Amino acid sequence: MINQYPLWKNLLIIAVLLVGIVYALPNVYGEDPALQITNARAGKLEAGVPERVANALKTAGIDYKSIESDDQEILVRFNSTEVQLKAVDFIKADLGTQFVVALNLAPSTPQWLQSLNALPMYLGLDLRGGVYFLMEVDMDAAVKQAIERYAGDLRTLLREQKIRYGQIRTENAGVRLMFNSAEDRDRVVSLIRKEFPDLEREELPVDNGSFGLFVKPSEREMKEVRSFALQQNILTLRNRVNELGVAEPVIQQQGSSRVVVQLPGVQDTARAKRILGATATLEYRAVDVEHDLERAVAGKVPAGSQIYHQRDGKPVLLKKSVIVTGDQIVNASSGFDSQTGTPNVTVMLDAKGARKMLAFTKESVGKPMAVVFIENKTETRMVEGQPVSSTKKVEEVVSVATIRDVFSKRFQTTGLDSPQEAHELALILRSGALAAPIQIIEERTVGPSLGAENIQRGFHSTWIGFAAIAVFMFIYYLVFGVTAVIALGINVVLLVALLSMLQATLTLPGLAAIALTVGMAIDVNVLINERIREELRNGNTPQASIHTGYERAFGTILDSNVTTLIAGLALLMFGSGAVRGFAVVLCLGIITSMFSGVMVSRAMVNLIYGGRRKLDRLTIGNTQWNSSRSAA
């Protein structure tokens, strides 16, 4: 029979439909307001913490839906957002700064679906509610810092080469160097050409017997400086957003100097601003090996030393004098030691930090050195039933390593337990402080009620459009209209399933793209049905008309969808934010509409008409074929 699929193709369609239904199903169950509790340093949770949370809620008289826990996090579900917001302050006050307590919306998907990794789509800020920040990086300050680093590096170079100079002064665009002789200036020009090839050089006229040289970074170098400042600030902000425990935050570049931060599900705007604007720094200190640690812990701390604690709570006796601080770190990266194969972190300092580190390590080979992470954290405690916030300075030793050899500008931090710890330490070193000042220039809050209203409107618009199309197709194309509408419904299910499987973030423009996809997808079946009608009017038999209609319409369908797909891919590649969200749904919708509109609808038509050896009557639209008259 010409209108029957082979068995493998029918089985493929059935398999795709089953997978689509399973992975679209989690979106039906909705979400619960919840609190997500994790260790402040991404470590494992201690035993007994879930019971502690339950007792705190019971003491406060707060009802909860359930408490779920594993080694990494605790999830407390509530029946309403009001109860969730009431509980967060009590939990924070009870657990302290050792844990991160974040507001969240947890999917209520059944366990059997979760075991298949079937999860609902993430919802964007405009649908879920949350906070939006537009931040601007001070690029002038970033350039100024880079020029000051070059000035320090040049001073170090001249001292190492024992070249006398009159003065080195930074200016807005570069560094001015003054020498007592033309020979010294020419020698420095050769050194700069070799050591700093990215610096542009300009000899200045002789002024009162002084021979001047003006050097400045090239335009390419300045572009890289600005790009580095922006990217490092984005990295810093992303690291700080992790403190909030937000699912699917959006932190992306906008233009050449701005950063957009979207935190879906976050209702505490003040807390988000405190964390994003918080300052953190690092200090390298010498470990005091000359005095007894136990005596210091007992209270006899020697002068010039101080007790700190590591992440696991172990005390460490460190010198009060600081070797270098985090603002002198230019870069850091994680890797593996070439000799031992153990994880390490490679750190690069600026000229000032390099000089200090060189002087220290010359005298401290074989001795330990510690890395101290310092951060100002906001702590919430209950006073007379009311939450009171206060700022607390947290000083924690993140690494203690032995100095193997003399080093200055570039060195390795070893003694780390795993590659993951090395990666996290490198992230802290790079992201401990902002590369350039940043300020919030725009702030918006989207309430959960507005997000729910957006979802409801988008849902209604999609289904109203679907219903209108269905009525038209039923009336105009009869049986073929029914198959087209069923295929259209399957298209929506498959699209939702794909978005869920990819864990894409659905935004309001994405909802608009779904509504647009519904309208575009029906075009596939309209083209096919009109082609079948044309074949019937030409006097072909129903079976031949169905076969020819699908075969010949496919070329037109492919051409029209490919051109739309190209436009969608262009939006995806060159767009940002809402444009990309629209483009993702549009491109996926084109793929699903091709599958459902051609393969699925034909499978249904084959099921209805394909098994009939003799088809006496066929009506599609106002065109009818029967055995007594060719066409009407």
Q: What is the 3-state secondary structure (H, E, C) of 435-486?
A: CCCEEEEEEEEECHHHHHHHHHHHHHHHHHHHHHHHHHHHHHHCHHHHHHHH
Q: Say how many C-beta atoms besides its own lie within 10 A of residue 208's C-beta.
A: 5
Kindly list the domain boundaries of the chain, sorted by start residue: 7-25+447-626, 31-107, 140-219, 280-433
H/E element, 221: helix 219-241
User: Residue 117: which residues within 8 A CB-CB, separation 6 or more?
Assistant: none
CA-derived radius of gyration, the chain: 33
In this structure, what DSSP letter does residue 597 have? I
Q: Say how many C-beta atoms besides its own lie within 10 A of residue 380's C-beta.
A: 19
Distance of CA 358 to the CA centre of its chain: 38
User: Residue 608: which residues within 8 A CB-CB, separation 6 or more?
Assistant: 479, 483
As a CATH number, domain 280-433 is 3.30.1360.200
What are 264-311's pLDDT values in tens digits? Answer: 766 556 556 656 655 455 678 889 888 888 888 888 888 778 899 887
Residue 583 φ then ψ, to 5°: -65, -40
CB 583 within 8 A of CB 572: yes
pLDDT for residue 427 = 58
pLDDT for residue 631 = 44
User: Residue 218: which residues within 8 A CB-CB, separation 6 or more?
Assistant: 198, 199, 200
Q: Say how many C-beta atoms besides its own lie within 10 A of residue 241's C-beta.
A: 20
The CB-based long-range contact list for 290-299 (8 Å cut-off, 24+ gap) reads 291/317, 293/317
Alpha-carbon gap, residue 581 to 222, rounded angstroms = 33
What are 414-435's pLDDT values in tens digits? Answer: 656 667 667 666 655 655 556 6
Alpha-carbon gap, residue 122 to 55, rounded angstroms = 32
In this structure, what DSSP letter does residue 384 have? T
Could you tell me how many helices (H) and strands (E) the chain has, helices first?
18, 24
Q: Say how many C-beta atoms besides its own lie within 10 A of residue 79's C-beta.
A: 12
Write down the architecture of domain 31-107 according to CATH: 2-Layer Sandwich (3.30)
Structure tokens at 603: 């499978």
pLDDT for residue 630 = 47
What is the DSSP secondary-structure string of 223-275?
A: HHHHHHHHHHHHHHHHHHHGGGT-SS-EEEEETTTEEEEEEET---HHHHHHH
Alpha-carbon gap, residue 422 to 406, rounded angstroms = 22
Q: Say how many C-beta atoms besides its own lie within 10 A of residue 530's C-beta.
A: 16
CB 601 within 8 A of CB 528: yes
Owner of token pair 């309001």: 508
In this structure, what DSSP letter does residue 121 have? P
What is the DSSP secondary-structure string of 479-511?
A: HHHHHHHHHHHHHHHHHHHHHHHTTPEE-HHHH
Q: What angle do CA 524, 567, 13 make, to 5 degrees?
A: 40
CB 319 within 8 A of CB 305: yes
H/E element, 378: strand 368-383
CB 353 within 8 A of CB 326: no
Chain length of the chain? 632
Count how many Cα atoms sit within 13 Å of the Cα of residue 598 in the half-sphere of its side chain: 18
CATH class of the domain defined by 7-25+447-626: mainly alpha
Domain 31-107 matches domain 140-219 at the CATH topology level: yes
What is the DSSP secondary-structure string of 127-187?
A: HH-EEEEEEEE-HHHHHHHHHHHHHHHHHHHHHHTT---SEEEE-SSSEEEEESSHHHHHH
Alpha-carbon gap, residue 203 to 186, rounded angstroms = 9
* Weakly modelled stretches of the chain, pLDDT under 70: 1, 40-43, 97, 239-240, 242-248, 265-282, 326-327, 375-393, 414-418, 420-421, 423-437, 446-452, 576-577, 624-632
Residue 133 φ then ψ, to 5°: -125, 140
CB 54 within 8 A of CB 117: no
pLDDT for residue 487 = 92
Q: Tell me the three state secondary structure of residue 419.
A: helix
Q: What is the reported pTM? A: 0.59
pLDDT for residue 423 = 65
- Angstrom CA distances, 503 to 54, 61, 122, 249, 583, stand at 31, 36, 6, 13, 15
Write down the architecture of domain 140-219 according to CATH: 2-Layer Sandwich (3.30)
CB 338 within 8 A of CB 298: no
Alpha-carbon gap, residue 632 to 620, rounded angstroms = 11
| Through-space distance between the first and last CA atoms of the chain, rounded to whole angstroms | 26
Q: Tell me the three state secondary structure of residue 529.
A: helix
Residues paired with 383 in a beta bridge: 386
Please state whether beta strands 505-506 and 122-123 pair in parallel, antiparallel, or not at all (unpaired). Answer: parallel
pLDDT for residue 366 = 86
H/E element, 212: strand 211-217
Longest dimension (CA), the chain: 114
